[in-house]
A and B are shown apart, each in its own frame.
Chain A
Amino acid sequence: MSEVYKVAIIGSGPAGMSAAGHAAKLGLNHVLLEKTDHLSDTIYKYQKGKHVMATPSQLILRSDQEFDAGKREDILKRWNDRTGELGVNVKYNADVKSIKGTGPAIEGSVQKIVSRARDGSSTVTELQRFAPPYALELTSGETILAETVILAIGTQGNPNLMRCPGSDLPHVTYQLDDPYAVLDQHIIVVGTGDAGIENARGLAEDPAQGNVVTVLNRAPKSTNVRESFPTAKEPNALSLVADHEAKKLTIRYETETKAVEPGWITLTTRDGEERIRCDRIIARIGSAPPRGFVEACGIEFSSADRLAFPTLSPVFESTAPGIFVIGALAGYPLIKHCMNQGYDVVEFINGNTSLKPADEPLLEAKFKGLPGRRGVDEWLELLRSNITILNSMSPLQMREFMLDSDARAYKKGEVIFEKNDPGSSLFAIAQGSVKVRIDPKDSSKVVPIGQGLIFGEVGLISGRRRGATVVAAEDAICVEISRNAALKLQSQVPSAKKAIERISTERQLLQMFGSGLAPDDIREVVDSAKIVQVKAGEAIITEGDEGKDIFVIRVGSMIVEKEVGGKPVFLSYLPAGSYVGEMALIDGGQRTATVRAAIKSEVIRVDGEAFDRVLQSKPALLDRARKDMELRRQTNAFIESRKDSFSGVVDLYSEQAKFLVAQGLGEATDVLLIDERLCVGCDNCEKACADSHDGLSRLDREAGKSFAHLHVPTSCRHCEHPHCMADCPPNAIHRGPDGEVFINDTCIGCGNCQRNCPYGVIRMDKVPPKKPSLLSWMFFGNGPGPGEPSYKWSKKNTKYTGDPAIDESLDRKKAIKCDMCAGIDGGPSCVRACPTGAAIRVAPDEFLTVSRLTNEGA
């Protein structure tokens, strides 16, 4: 063993590189280990010429490396140059396989690693931690010794590996650099995500390549590619199917690998096993977050949740002494944060303990408007100790948590939010108390919520509008926790998760069954309630079964079906916040209909017996439940009575409803639907859309699926839990006051939202220049006329200044999507501009009702 480094930094992304730079500057004995042969692989993999943004703009950069918004190439060049200047000791192609302490065993420091198998069982392995110095074993076999380790490996992770016999053979690969370099081979592509499809199509693109390409798909064949290729984008899947039809390559459905041997592969198909030629396997079956590796280093995660991050001290030290975690892996995805942390962590390691984090001014600004002169640390401590769900957070977690949240002071009587406001955030009361108005007409009917408790959790969980108005009962300070921060909180602090779940169950039940109930009345029900995850298409209630439990839909939506004449007939659509299953409870007998999830959902399963006792003791509640039940029974009766005389129409209605659910209506809040019997194809909707939004249309009328005269164009459905919001680095996507999901001006054009949207409704484009007015087009023929200008016109008319900074901003592509014409009086332009009434925007629960039957002529 040669020298022992003071610091070993793993990963040369913004965080690791900045840390290494600062270590070099301070003259610390260090080494920077990079898996690939270049710095900062994540940024390196960005597409050529991509503009990288430097958000948050007010955060001061504290690093020996420079960073400012600019082109990928420029940024990488500056980093490379500076890394050289600083004399950073970089070791390329150094992939760390394991990190182990070489010192004595640390007494009592044992880590339990829980691994879950696919079947749900879990095994616990115990890992004894050893003191530093650490031995870092590389895949090359080399070992590096270091006193401290900075782990800055990001969250990209490693490719999932194949697990069948023979999968360790050298011709089983997990990436493909240049598909055109592979010639005359029998190739099996495993995995039908976008990466796999791209590889397969590249390999088979030119028949001259002579490759025989087979794509293995576990899913069965379907005319709807979204079913047969659930993880791929639709256009990709369609082109793959087209290639298959053109006999360029073969797709094998319902097929998996059984065994691999040199030159051959054995497949399990629906019709039995088959052995075919195979010279190369390309497995693109997703990637696993690097959690396994991190845990094996002795680093504990805050919970078993998939979204959880490692548990860290205020100086980024993990539970393994001497191993520090920074960057995206620590929960900070933005480049600037990462670079600052790189600097800070090296300062800490070098013994500077008084360093204030770079986010101090941001937090100061957050607390500025609050009464009482307190410092940031005092505020954080006050919030942490006063709010129950935050009690077990560390100061570092509190800082990060507050960056994503807001603290506000409310005067007595001030409205915090109103009934029917959209909002997916959670509120917590740090000081004072609030009251919930349960009767919109009578402001004296209120339920108090005291200090330390939370409210607004229904919006957080279901994504639906606020159920009641909340007013400050006295002068109060509340923390508004954004959905992202609340999800992070729940994954970091299991007790917070439990508390939120319990309180939300209780409140949801109270709200649903109305006044007259107190939390004490339903204590038993809440205690027995279970939160159950339901997969799309799975039934929670099956017609004809026995059972008395009641289900409350917490997330997602359900459809109710009934077998009539041997066919399932669609009865109704239940959005989140409704309950089902009361008929069997009240009247006894078997379940009268099947209820299945329209999309992946979550339900609260309430014990029927316990609920029955509540019903018996509260006659008013029983009455209400009976009334609700009566309405449902009428629907059933209506459908059943129509079935004989208009069976065709009922079938059509049923099929149409299923089609709409398959098109994502199950998670939509507002969707554009076109009646093809009325649409004359004038595209005035698209033109109106472009003219109300900077000249870019956010809808594609013709694209999208149709069924029985109903067309769902490519246009935003404003999902309850928008997929696009999931991974937006600058957090530019929000839900607006009218329920619209919109992207604000902080968009950095990364395209994550576009990739995450399963409906393909987000486009990346630059804003065209302003057009001449309508009148000047009508009378003088100026400009391109109504609608989206052609690319040529907008290129020609963009007023370039010659200043690269400004010109670049003119050409910058941003994510563009429907904002439901928020703020425009009259509502969505596409609907207003339809000359024949073919286009409407509706909420699915308004549209999917039996009244459609009447419209269809029954």
Chain B
Amino acid sequence: MASIAHGPDQGDQETAATTENSTTTRSPKPPRRGKVRRDRVSTHEGFLTHKNGRWMKISALLAAGLIALYIFVPLPGQHFGSSWLGYTLGTVGALLILWLTMLGMRKRAITPGRWSLKAWTSAHVYLGLTLIVVGTLHSGFNFAWNVHTLAWALMMVVIISGIFGIWVYATLPQALSANRYDEDGAITEKQMIESLRSLDRQIHDAAQPLDPQSAALVEQSLDEDPFAGNFINRITGRYPRCATRHAAGELRKARAYRPRVADDPVDKIDALLTRKEAMLGRMRRHLKLKSWLQAWLYVHVPVTFALIAALSAHIVSVFFYW
């Protein structure tokens, strides 16, 4: 048993349970635990407005202070980086970059304690924005084709992708949520897939009396994987080769040339295909929004590592050419 329990709290529970007199309906009074704190909230508050914009205010003050220092402190015009203010800005900037990178760790290390990832995100966003000021002032506005400017440029790429991320996080969840609602309430991604499968089954059953050509068209729609499509399809939500739409269109075209009869199986297929198209459309909008919510991270994170590499080169070379 011990081999599958992990975590210190789990161990405690186990001893408590094994010593427990298990015929009783209650466990012995659990010992009062030392410090188990919990921050109670009673309402939702987003990361941008966390604690009334605490990190926004801190960051704004920091940026304003640094700009004031840069303007009012008399310093040599050349090689600003080697002045005390330059070093200070550089050190602050480098430490900030490392700390901001730590968000990835914080997010995944679910340790005990009163930390809140939302507070971290809030600080990450606002301090990250301040980095524009810190980094740029540190450069002393000297840009050239060298590793120093490369580090600055990568930093800016990371920050701009981050700003895009903020925009995405602030706007898309609403659209994602709205896309899930219809008159019957909200449905989940799983239910969308379920509903597509159930439509497919119905289409399959309804298509049995069709002639071979029409059946082949329907077959294509059935064979289509709702998750198929490349990155461009996903991100744009456009699927020009959609077999369902193709099948629906072709069937309707073919039908126009045939005599009209009551209870035509094609009618039923047409209705079902229309419903499937609508559901596919919703599913694709859902996937599109989800892709956008993640896509920016594929720039933000790898470039961060490139930035750290360039930053290391920048620091080493600066000390080398003292």
Contact = CB atoms under 8 A, between A and B. Distances in A.
A738 B36 CA distance: 9
B110 A681 contact: no
Contact of A836 (B3, B38, B47): B47
Contacts of B173: 676-681, 836, 838
A851 B108 contact: no
B27 to A, nearest CB: 6
B7 interface: yes
A737 B13 CA distance: 14
Interface string A672-710: 010111111110100110011010000000110111010
Contacts of A57: 22
A684 B117 contact: yes
Interface in B80-122: 105, 107-110, 112-118, 120-121
A425 B46 contact: no
A64 B211 CA distance: 71
A828 B42 contact: no
Contact of A705 (B9, B115, B116, B186): B186
Contact of B190 (A242, A483, A703, A834): A703
A361 B117 CA distance: 52
Contacts of A679: 173, 177
Interface string B168-189: 0100111011001100111011
A702 B194 CA distance: 14
Nearest to B113: A826
Nearest to A731: B25
Contacts of B176: 676, 681
A786 B108 CA distance: 6
Interface residues of A, number: 90
A840 interface: yes
Interface stretch (A320-328, A513-521, A767-775): A767-775
A832 B118 CA distance: 7
B302 interface: no
A774 B112 contact: no
Given A677-B174, A835-B47, A837-B50, A744 B27 contact: yes
Contacts of A365: 21
A835 B188 contact: no
B198 interface: yes
A702 B290 CA distance: 13
B17 A745 contact: yes
B169 A832 contact: no
B20 interface: yes
Contact of A56 (B23, B45, B105): B23
Contacts of A809: 1
Contact of A840 (B3, B13, B43, B190): B43
B37 A681 contact: no
A694 B13 CA distance: 13
A730 B184 CA distance: 41
Contacts of B290: 681
A744 B47 CA distance: 36
B76 interface: no
B202 A246 contact: yes
A143 B177 CA distance: 68
A362 interface: yes
Task: Tell me which of B181, B188, B189, B202 has the highest count of chain A C-beta atoms within 10 A of its own C-beta.
Answer: B188
B61 to A, nearest CB: 23
Contacts of B36: 738, 822-825, 827
Given A403-B24, A679-B173, A832-B115, A826 B37 contact: yes
Contacts of B225: none
A392 interface: no
Contacts of A356: none
Interface string B32-69: 11011111111111110010000000000000000000
Interface size class of B (residues with CB under 8 A): 35 or more
B293 interface: yes
Contact of A702 (B3, B21, B190): B190
Interface in A726-778: 730-731, 734, 736-738, 744-746, 767, 769-770, 774, 778
A176 interface: no
B174 A709 contact: yes
B47 A826 contact: no
A242 B198 contact: yes
A736 B16 CA distance: 13
B118 A767 contact: no
Contacts of B14: 745
Task: Tell me which of B22, B45, B107 has the highest count of chain A C-beta atoms within 10 A of its own C-beta.
Answer: B22
A767 B4 contact: yes
B114 A246 contact: no
Nearest to A679: B173
B121 A59 contact: no
B241 interface: no
Contacts of B35: 825
Contacts of A847: 42-43
A6 B25 CA distance: 37
A827 to B, nearest CB: 3
Contacts of A823: 9, 12-13, 33, 36
Contacts of B79: none
B44 A837 contact: yes
A406 B39 CA distance: 34
B77 interface: no
A730 B22 contact: yes
A484 B26 CA distance: 10
A778 B104 CA distance: 10
A223 interface: yes
B108 A774 contact: yes
Interface in B103-149: 105, 107-110, 112-118, 120-121
B240 interface: no
A842 B39 CA distance: 11
B46 A737 contact: no
B42 A846 contact: yes
A117 to B, nearest CB: 35
Contacts of B188: 702-703
A425 B37 contact: no
Task: Tell me which of A55, A677, A679, A851 has the highest count of chain B C-beta atoms within 10 A of its own C-beta.
Answer: A677
A734 B26 contact: yes
A135 to B, nearest CB: 39
A688 B110 contact: yes
Interface in A775-810: 778, 785-786, 799, 809-810
Contacts of B252: none
Contact of A404 (B25, B112, B115, B181): B25
A652 to B, nearest CB: 13
A702 B177 contact: no
A855 B186 contact: no
A744 B16 CA distance: 9
Contact of B43 (A691, A822, A852): A852
A196 B268 CA distance: 30
Contacts of A484: 25
B267 to A, nearest CB: 15
B25 to A, nearest CB: 4
Contacts of A837: 44-47, 50, 118
A448 interface: no
A678 B109 CA distance: 22
B99 to A, nearest CB: 16
A667 interface: no
B22 A737 contact: no
Q: List the 4 closest pairs (A to B, CB-CB), nearest first.
A: A827-B38, A676-B177, A745-B17, A56-B23
26 contacts: A55-B23, A58-B21, A246-B198, A482-B26, A484-B25, A679-B173, A688-B110, A694-B4, A702-B190, A706-B177, A706-B181, A706-B185, A731-B24, A731-B25, A736-B30, A738-B38, A744-B16, A744-B20, A809-B1, A823-B36, A824-B9, A835-B118, A836-B47, A836-B169, A837-B47, A837-B50
Given A482-B25, A678-B44, 16 more contacts: A223-B185, A359-B23, A680-B173, A682-B293, A705-B186, A706-B180, A744-B20, A774-B108, A799-B3, A825-B37, A825-B114, A833-B117, A838-B173, A840-B41, A849-B42, A851-B43
